[in-house]
Amino acid sequence: MNRAGLILNEIGLGPLMDRILKHYLGPVCRALYPRLLSSGFEAHHSFIVSYSLETDRSLGVHDDNSEVTINISLSNQYTGADLALYHHARVANPQLEKKERYCWRVSRAGNMLIHPGEMLHEVLPLESGDRMGLIMWIRSNHFRTTHGCPLCGRTDQLIYENGPDGKERTRDPCHDPNPHPQCHDPNPRPPCDGEASNKRQCVRHFQKIRKAR
């Protein structure tokens, strides 16, 4: 997990991201990946990541906790830090997979890449400058009730589904009395102890897509 960056919903930009995804990027993703988003999507996790010589210079091989990931470049002045894309795989140890590399390098800020969350990828070492990107993880209940949570494989008690009372669940995966026992993020992060500093890095941050007013 990146040490530098921020979660957009925590600074009041959740509704803006809802509208962007619902009216613009969401339909594009559904058209590109009907296998993953044929019945739409219910939630997103949108955040900004930053790479610099003083913080994170790279990010190891991983998949995303999403059905589809949107990656938008926000910077120009850097060298290195290419995004290496590999094959589709949901495996316990992606670093051990035999991979053939395809690198994607933005030419300017504003370039966008859309890929399945199940595609293994990594950010190669930064050589100079600062690299920033906007990441949006799109998630679908319909896909997960059929194929399972990408982290633990379960098809029930999804974060975004409604409870017995018909209301949306607002469970915190770190503190729920019946969490998915194997549902751990593939990228290491400190445990959530209830403090805001750790909660920002915890898997509890999910944004429900609201209907645009």
What is the secondary structure of 33-73 as a DSSP string?
Answer: -HHHHTT---EEEEEEEEE-SSS---EEEE--SSSEEEEEE
Rounded Cα gap, residues 101 and 88, in angstroms: 12
User: What are the beta bridge partners of residue 136?
Assistant: 46, 70
Inter-CA distances, 35 with 38, 55, 67, 102, 151, Å: 6, 37, 10, 23, 19
Each residue's pLDDT expressed in tens, for the chain with a length of 213 residues: 678 889 998 899 999 999 999 999 999 999 999 999 999 998 899 999 999 999 999 999 999 999 999 999 999 999 999 999 999 999 989 999 998 888 887 668 999 999 999 999 999 999 999 999 999 999 998 999 999 988 888 888 776 555 555 544 443 333 333 444 444 443 433 333 333 333 333 333 333 333 333
Closest among 65, 14, 21 to 40, alpha carbons compared:
21
Asked if 38 and 30 count as a contact pair (C-beta separation under 8 A), the reply is yes
The number of CA neighbours under 13 Å toward the Cβ of 32 is: 13
Question: Hunting for tokens 């896909």 — which residue is that?
Answer: 143
Which residue blocks in 87-193 are alpha helix, DSSP H? 141-147
